Structure 1
Amino acid sequence: MPFVMLDGQLVHESQARVSVFDRSFLYGDGLFETLLIWNRRPFRWEQHWGRLQRGLGVLWLSLPFDHDTVVNQIARLLDANQLNHGILRLQVSRGVGARGYSPPAKPNPVTIISTHPLEPVAPGQPQGWRLHTASFRLPPLGALASFKSCNKLLHVVARLEARERQADEALLLDSEGHVAEAAAGNLFWWAGGQLHTPPLATGALPGITRQVILELASRWNWKTQETLAGVEALRAAEGVFLTTSPMGVIEVLEIDGHPIQRSTVTQQCHAGYWALVARESETRRCAPPNSLSPS
């Protein structure tokens, strides 16, 4: 992927430069969105854009570009990199400011849009991951939990800890010991004829794919419930899975070495997600601004 979009300019990635005094580098003072690109179309773009705008509001920031301009920048980048299927990251930093935590009164935001390869996905069978319960806890729910900030140290260290335990992903708990999310995705489990997911009050991110799965469950007339539960509830569940934008549904095979029952529910959610991606991404190129909303 040789090109990136830096402040609205198409730049070869080897030539892209950001200041060493950029506040995103110094303090994590910024936010980002990660999107699935399918058939050169950002999946569920409007939801990602909305979450980005809400996060910018929390940070008292605004983009130097409007919605349609960003859409056109994405289209140019996808064309330049000839990307049909992949991952797109849109990052906004507050930019350069004086040393110290206090942000500049008039920030000069830096925006970076980059594309990345997508791991092969088998439509009929989700990937399977082993989880390790992290020793680090999510802080209580606050405004910063509602978007992806550039400070992800807790998730990074939780991933390191999981890797040391030969696990694929970290399971994060809230301050009360309830399951909340994975380091890079939301959490679901099937028990008692219902699809369960932790409430956002645990500090879980309001994931875009989380919402897609809840929409699919509604279409299928499944009962759904936001449930406070401990790790033991997952171990006893009839199926557990994670959701992420790039990978859709990921089946959980074990938690802390304890095998998890496999379920056709997980497979149906996986197939349903990718069928929806295909339907909503029928155009071969990044769609015009007015047609980027979900069909």
Structure 2
Amino acid sequence: MKISVVILTFNEGIHLQRCLDSAKSISNDIHVVDSFSTDNTSHIAKQNSVKFYQRKWENSHAKQLNWALATLPFEGDWILRMDADEYLTDELIEEMKIKLPHLDSDVNGVYLPLQRVFLGRHIKRGGANGVKIMRLFRPGKAYSQQKWMDERMVVPTGSTTTFKGAFVDENLNDISWWIAKHNQYATKEAIDLLSASFRNPDLRVQDDTLKRKTTEKVVYNKLPLFIRAFLYFFYRYFIQLGFLDGKEGFVWHFMQGWWYRTLVDVLLLEVRIKYGKDTEAIKTYFLKEHNIDF
């Protein structure tokens, strides 16, 4: 049973070696798709003798990933999608080696639990730990949702299963980088929420896990601006016991659960004040100011 790995990169020199070392523990068919990095990302990839490609970034993670899945010559029976700031736990590595060869032929995707490390601390509570994400799938059996943020893999046919072993998301950049990145994310998140308000979500090809995630987004989108960000933080930090993760946990839940989502709502309010419900004017604004065509 052979596993291929696909990793999208842009200026990931700080993370890539760690990611590749982890990927090599389960694969000798590793594909790195780079968006013309200006740091030492390409040097690290070539030093490790992985398959390295460069493709212009089209301002969409989904487009880049779907291009890779449709184009690259994967040799594996399964494809593992990794971000450069992620690595695999020993438990997951062992579980993949033992279980993958024995899965039923109708199983086309595997959900993997996420462990998040922030400011050096494993964030165990507040809904941050153990989130199931589709990351392992058979070639030709999965694609990425065409969303600007929080895109998920869709497995439209066959069944899916879940492994117990986790992968770890641990970004090593400083908090200033994190804030700048989430400022960019907020614009894309605002676009996704606006897009959702223009149309009904299609749940027909989604399994239960993805359907539940989409439904939660729909419910959140219907709540009042700003109040929903506070309620979300309150739920995560107090009801889901996020406060037990110490200072690092507070920073994570405050910044990612309240500050970030408040920033999204500020952007939505700004657009509503300027353009009301004029969808064409809204689309023109995001294309002109942010080079995003939705």
When normalised by structure 1's length, the TM-score is 0.23
Point out the structure with the larger helix share.
Answer: 2
When normalised by structure 2's length, the TM-score is 0.23
Point out the structure with the larger strand share.
Answer: 1
1 or 2 for the larger relative contact order (CA 8 Å, sep ≥6)? Answer: 1
